[in-house]
Amino acid sequence: MHWYLDVLKKYAVFSGRARRQEYWMFTLFNYIAFIIAAVLDAVLGTSPVITGIYFVAILLPSLGVFIRRLHDTGRSGWWILFGIIPAVGGITLLVFSCLEGDRSQNAYGPDPKSGYAAA
């Protein structure tokens, strides 16, 4: 759960790097929260209201952690626009998010796995 909260604390931070674990744990908790919001919408009969509010609230943190994940692999955050290309873009971004990050400092900051990386 702390992975989810750590990303929310960095609400609109697009600089720096994010480890694979940080990104994927945030994504997992994000999907769980979205399913809970959808169930609440169905039970309360407020169809897209709760999920819509949740989506808008989580949009910037989701973009931020994904851009930081791209930075960890040595890529610019502008690569996120590659996702616009049907099929190929999404698959490419999925592969990038699964790749191991640079083991040393890159243009976006120190290795987040090292003990002295800034939080």
**pLDDT by residue (tens digit) across 40-66?**
999 999 989 999 999 999 999 999 999
- Which pLDDT score, from 0 to 100, does residue 119 have? 45
pLDDT digits over 64-105, tens only? 999 999 999 999 999 999 999 999 999 999 999 999 988 888
Overall residue count recorded for the chain in this entry: 119
d(C-alpha 43, C-alpha 26), whole Å: 26
- Which pLDDT score, from 0 to 100, does residue 111 have? 86
Entry pTM: 0.86
d(C-alpha 72, C-alpha 69), whole Å: 5
